[in-house]
Structure 1
């Protein structure tokens, strides 16, 4: 007779727990997700993004993201971790011993390309995720009605809402609704296949299926793209946490940045006040709408697009950068020198020997 109690437990990085939530908001969100998947069944992978996460004794075996996963290069994420640890040492360290441990991590990040770092009992890791957009009938998926419906204002001076990605707990075995569970199952065998990727990139993508077979979806993000004849191109480089934040950025660009620069990116004709007037009127028309996702002017089309980020998970947590990920930058000093007592040196010329001498003297 079969006894489930004697069966080996499935590892967390291979477990997907599906649940049903009865509250009205969850039900509407679930229905929205199902409709989105049906209307936009394909995916278009843009490439990797990088950030950093921490695993504390309290969190183990889970990891917690400490940034918004927006940078396209591993070294940028290492530099952000460098800055994070320095600021933590400056503002939050409990005593000089903890500050010394944090600054030792900073010192390593200033000189080494490392993707994992132990600071006391905490583990920090540079992590990667693949960004993709859903597509159907030649159209990229716009924001869903349930994507941050509370953010509707057009105040361009108001501070943007906090990122839902910062603080996100990477927990492969956490309960999710049916639509997310099915999407994760769909993505388990996803690999790079396009001929635009070099052979080492394709090989690393296939290898990740073995080393990091699980998949977690991060909170969605939003971008401003320009629609070309048969493709799309990034119009604004930023990634935004809400659809309305992306809309505000597009409007802000045409109302403030273009008049200041006196040029319109991608506009082949000579810049003129008439062109500025046309784009300004288009921006104001855009603002008079509720939840607009498309702005047209002078034959150009700008779109607000929903993007998702897929993070691969292995037995020991999130996937770090792959050998084939572009990583041409080197480590560097990000913040001024600080000693374990919190004293900061703002000297302009601090070479490695001087830093080492300061540490010994302290």
Structure 2
């Protein structure tokens, strides 16, 4: 659908279907429309995220990796890991020439901060996605009934989600509600004074360089209402249960160690975690603050040459792995003969004690869940 009619480039098209044929898709489209009324405001959801996609000969780009890395370098490292996996496959097949090509690509990524690499005529790119949440009078939108949530309590990590393998192709038809949301999100830019000038400038430039876009499958995070606003407290997960499990892991394992909780507070946190497990609830009050599992929409912008990569203003503080290791060696961090200071010795002792306590609490939680599953 476009004011340009049939002459619009494919990457700018948004093809809408009046009603998806599959019942599940039709239900999801209805829920998306209802969300527009209950949660009418669309807000930024925590900054850009990055992943890796491969261009397909048949058109579009297939996501080949985890897509929640907050910095481009994390996606570059993932691309290098992908290349090494392909090298192992070639080695198993006895194809040493192909193995060397993939390893050469991985080694380049170990040393260079490059966002696109072609190996054996296969093109891979680090791509960025903007995150958004819907907000209403009661706060951010929680998971919808149609959002896949198949994992059992404590097994959210087993659900890999729908993002890896997803094909970014604006020409693929979509439901009416998703199509309208795409049009809304594609027109958004940072308002004056809300971000640094470079960030706003890049967002305005993207309207021209990457005017099309595709919505990825939704992900989920926990957000806390504090000091009058909602803020995410964890990285996004592939399912609501994955986010619940991360929250209960914080309550049972992370908080007691990192925050040095007293026994009374630890017991209270444990009861809250038990309630989340028992009810699979999406909202709970922790220390007087509302905490909610929140639905996160993610948009990848697309231009004539495919999906958008990192912008100049995107934070990118991490170095390629080999460069980082070289710098640490030059600083003497890996020097086995260096004598540690008293402060460094104490820091190591504290870290070891914390690690032991993390493991103890983690094993305690694991045994408790296994016992509940067996009963």
Aligned mates of 2:156, 2:116 — CA distance in 1: 36
Aligned mates of 1:138, 1:308 — CA distance in 2: 18
How many angstroms does 1:262 deviate by?
Answer: 6.2
How many angstroms does 1:56 deviate by?
Answer: 3.6
Give the aligned partner of residue 359 of structure 1.
Answer: none
Answer whether contact 1:56 1:121 (CA < 8 A) is retained.
no
Give the aligned partner of residue 30 of structure 1.
Answer: 29
In structure 2, stretches of 5+ residues that fail to align are 324-333, 336-375
For residue 327 of structure 1, give the secondary structure of its aligned residue in structure 2. Answer: coil
The partner residue of 1:189 within 184, 187, 200 is: 187
**1:118-267 map, 5 Å:** 118-137=118-137, 139-151=139-151, 153-154=152-153, 156=154, 159-193=157-191, 195-236=193-234, 238-259=235-256, 261=257, 263=259
Answer whether contact 1:172 1:214 (CA < 8 A) is retained.
yes
For residue 218 of structure 1, give the secondary structure of its aligned residue in structure 2. Answer: strand
Answer whether contact 2:218 2:295 (CA < 8 A) is retained.
yes
Aligned mates of 2:158, 2:72 — CA distance in 1: 26
How many residues are paired up?
Answer: 318
Give the aligned partner of residue 276 of structure 2.
Answer: 286
How many angstroms does 1:179 deviate by?
Answer: 0.8
For residue 163 of structure 1, give the secondary structure of its aligned residue in structure 2. Answer: coil
How many angstroms does 1:287 deviate by?
Answer: 2.4
How many angstroms does 1:149 deviate by?
Answer: 4.4
Aligned mates of 1:247, 1:158 — CA distance in 2: 8
Aligned mates of 2:298, 2:108 — CA distance in 1: 29
Confirm or deny that 1:323 pairs with 2:320.
no
For residue 219 of structure 1, give the secondary structure of its aligned residue in structure 2. Answer: strand
Q: Deviations over 1:262-290 (max 9, x none)?
A: 636xxxxxx3101111111122222222x
Answer whether contact 1:130 1:311 (CA < 8 A) is retained.
yes
How many angstroms does 1:83 deviate by?
Answer: 1.4
Aligned mates of 1:87, 1:101 — CA distance in 2: 12
In structure 1, stretches of 5+ residues that fail to align are 1-6, 265-270, 335-347, 350-362
User: Normalising to structure 2: TM-score of the pair?
Assistant: 0.79
Aligned mates of 1:36, 1:157 — CA distance in 2: 28
Q: Deviations over 1:191-248 (max 9, x none)?
A: 1226241101100100000000001100000001111131123323x21101111112
Answer whether contact 2:127 2:308 (CA < 8 A) is retained.
yes
Aligned mates of 2:33, 2:255 — CA distance in 1: 39
Aligned mates of 1:124, 1:135 — CA distance in 2: 35
How many angstroms does 1:150 deviate by?
Answer: 3.5
How many angstroms does 1:67 deviate by?
Answer: 1.2
Structure 1 residues 111 and 23, CA gap change in structure 2 (3 angstroms) = closer
Confirm or deny that 1:81 pairs with 2:70.
no
Flag the structure with more relative contact order, 1 or 2, with Cα contacts below 8 A and sequence separation at least 6. Answer: 1
Answer whether contact 2:90 2:96 (CA < 8 A) is retained.
no
For residue 47 of structure 2, give the secondary structure of its aligned residue in structure 1. Answer: strand
Larger proportion of helix:
2
User: Normalising to structure 1: TM-score of the pair?
Assistant: 0.82
Confirm or deny that 1:96 pairs with 2:96.
yes
Answer whether contact 2:109 2:320 (CA < 8 A) is retained.
yes
> Considering only aligned residues, what root-mean-square deviation do their CA atoms show, in Å?
2.2
Q: Which consecutive segments of 4 or more residues in structure 1 shift more than 4 A?
A: none
Aligned mates of 2:156, 2:22 — CA distance in 1: 32
Answer whether contact 1:68 1:163 (CA < 8 A) is retained.
no
Aligned mates of 2:251, 2:228 — CA distance in 1: 24
How many angstroms does 1:157 deviate by?
Answer: 5.4
How many angstroms does 1:307 deviate by?
Answer: 0.4
